[in-house]
Amino acid sequence: MVELAYNGGPAAAESLEIPEWPRLNEASRQYVDEALESGNWCRNAGGEFCDRLEEEFAEYHDAKHAVAVSNGTAAIELALQAAGVEPGDEIIVPSYSFIASASAVPEVGGVPRFVDTDLETYNIDLDHLEEVITEDTKGIVGVHFAGYPMDMDRLIDIVEDHDLFLVEDAAHAQGTEWRGEKVGTFGDFGTFSFQESKSLPSGEGGIIVTDDDVLAERARIMHNIGREQGATGYRHYKMASNRRLSEIHAALALGQLEKLDEENRIRERREELLLDELEDIDGIETKPRDDRITARGYCLENFRYDSAAFGGLSRDDFIEALSAEGVPVSDGYEMPIYRQPAFFRNEIGRLLPDVELPDYRHLHLPGVEELCRTNVSYGHRLLLAEEEGVRSVATAIRKIQRNVDELLD
């Protein structure tokens, strides 16, 4: 008898109704309408919404300053430039993330030095981090991957011991807290993305936060083609690009910020329910629960899959089977960043022609390479589904495990 949906049986997760994303709320609609009607669509034209977004985002993070920018990649590049990265400076970057977490470094003249990934948390491996720091290391870009925060207690100690700057890439982590403090506020800069898939979306956009007055002023000048904040003339004080956010995108993000906490609370409750369901399934490894994490933000979430507990069924075949049961999952980032063709010598060398570069193409870091073989990802909007639907995720996994012989014949 056929049981699995992959082979034509009924889907186990029929009750899993995942809401559409992004979700337009009335506040976003109202603010965008106001921005459109104002005729001030560019920040330099005298609009108010970029100012309001910066003020409210900074207040939300208990930070002194925020600078709205065109996207999350631009946010990292701007933070690195404002932190003083000079040509040839070595910057430690994660091996498992969206490419911008590392590619921003050569874009501003720095040399990326990859650190391995912790299998349990998906964040940078802090043991390996201490091994790869050299006298040439100037700073670290660390990612709060999938909204699960890095161990900020230990990381800040490492940063201070070695006199490094820290950029927290919090693109996934809008609303995440470590010991009651929002992430993005521990380092010199925190960077965020408002890209459409994020839990605080405006289509495109980003923002940086900092408590440092000097760094904030540098960032403001550098995000506006070297102009002073608010200036519209043709006097430029720094060599810099245009990274301004439009008034329309700022208006959209401002409205989305108003619903972020409520949606994150729902996601947290649903994730707790799902973790309870998954913890007894052999071969499914979820991230550790840590009391120091006092609030979670989300972009996606992950668990690791052990094929030995499923009769040797490959991870990719498991993903196909689970998707057929009605649970939308994927393999996430399928390779370490250093394996991306963009980091082959002929490509990255164009940005850093006079710098001795590591041989990224032949780099091997065991943690991240295992993660790329075993990871299973799902989007944050799955955690906005109703409780019955979220429980059905575990039901579908158990069903595959129980009937795995159907897939191995």
Q: Catalytic residue numbers? A: 98, 169, 172, 195, 198, 227, 234, 244
Task: Let me know: does 193 contact 72? Beta carbons within 8 Å.
Answer: yes
Task: Let me know: does 169 contact 187? Beta carbons within 8 Å.
Answer: no
Whole-angstrom distance, CA of residue 44 vs CA of residue 144: 32
Other Cβ atoms within 10 Å of 390 Cβ, number:
23
Task: Let me know: does 268 contact 295? Beta carbons within 8 Å.
Answer: yes
**CA of 92: how far to CAs of 100, 121, 165, 380, in Å?**
13, 18, 10, 28
Burial class (CB in 10 A: 0-12, 13-18, 19+), 405: exposed
Q: Residue 254's closest CA among 45, 39, 35? A: 35
Strands 375-379 and 300-305: antiparallel
DSSP state of 45: G
Q: Which helix (H) or strand (E) holds 385?
A: none
**Residue whose token pair is 């921005």:** 35
**CA of 128: how far to CAs of 94, 115, 118, 200, 284, in Å?**
11, 6, 9, 32, 25
CA angle 331, 337, 340 (to 5 degrees): 95
DSSP state of 307: G
**Can you tell me whether residue 101 is helix, strand or coil?**
helix
**CA of 156: how far to CAs of 124, 126, 142, 144, 150, in Å?**
13, 11, 11, 14, 10
Q: Residue 358's closest CA among 106, 138, 143? A: 106
Q: Residue 70's closest CA among 202, 205, 241? A: 205
**Residue whose token pair is 């925020």:** 66
